[in-house]
Amino acid sequence: MQVLLKKLLKQLVKLLSKKVVKRREVRQVVVQTLYQMISAHKDLDINEAVAYVLEAGVFPEEGYEGIDNEYFYELIEGVRSKETEIDKLIEPYLTGWSLDRIARIDLIILRVAFYEIFFVSKEEVPNNVAADEAIELSKFFSDDKSRQFVSGVVAKVLDDTKAENE
């Protein structure tokens, strides 16, 4: 009995010290957090949304206790503060679609990608990395049709940003 208790305590200590640090995981938690903040039946602040995501989101078995990455907060605050501006940047790329017709999760993924493409330095996140990460996020959170949609939108914006930089 004591051996089992010691083992459980050791696992608990290990779990309590885990934090999300990898950028890909950070983006996944950002997408889930933003989704919770717009989908909740009540207004959630960032801390409540993050707590919910870490407990019930993609990584509950990991036992993460928090986010140990400044970029997480930069993405959350950046996307939220520039949402209207980002949406205006996205709209021209939605051939035959409008923002209100896009699945919420896909819109959030696009907002994160467009924020990284237009508002984060290229040294920190090159445009092609932001686009690749958006496609990976859509693979993770959506179906193949959504992945193709997100991929098409980010491909168009990459083409335009390359043309502008030439």
pLDDT at 16: 42
Helix (H) or strand (E) holding 19: strand 19-20
- Tens of pLDDT along 151-165? 999 999 999 888 666
Q: Would you say residue 90 has pLDDT above 90?
A: yes
pLDDT at 135: 95
User: To the nearest 5 percent, what fractions of the chain are helix, strand and coil?
Assistant: 75, 0, 20
CATH at 105: 1.10.940.10
Domain count, the chain: 1
Which tops the pLDDT comparison, 69 or 2?
69
- Tens of pLDDT along 58-83? 555 555 556 666 888 899 999 999 99
Residue of 52, 24, 31 lying closest to 40 (CA atoms) = 52
Cα 162 to Cα 70, 81, 109, 127, 155, distances in angstroms = 28, 26, 21, 9, 11
Range of the domain at 10: 2-165
Which tops the pLDDT comparison, 59 or 48?
48
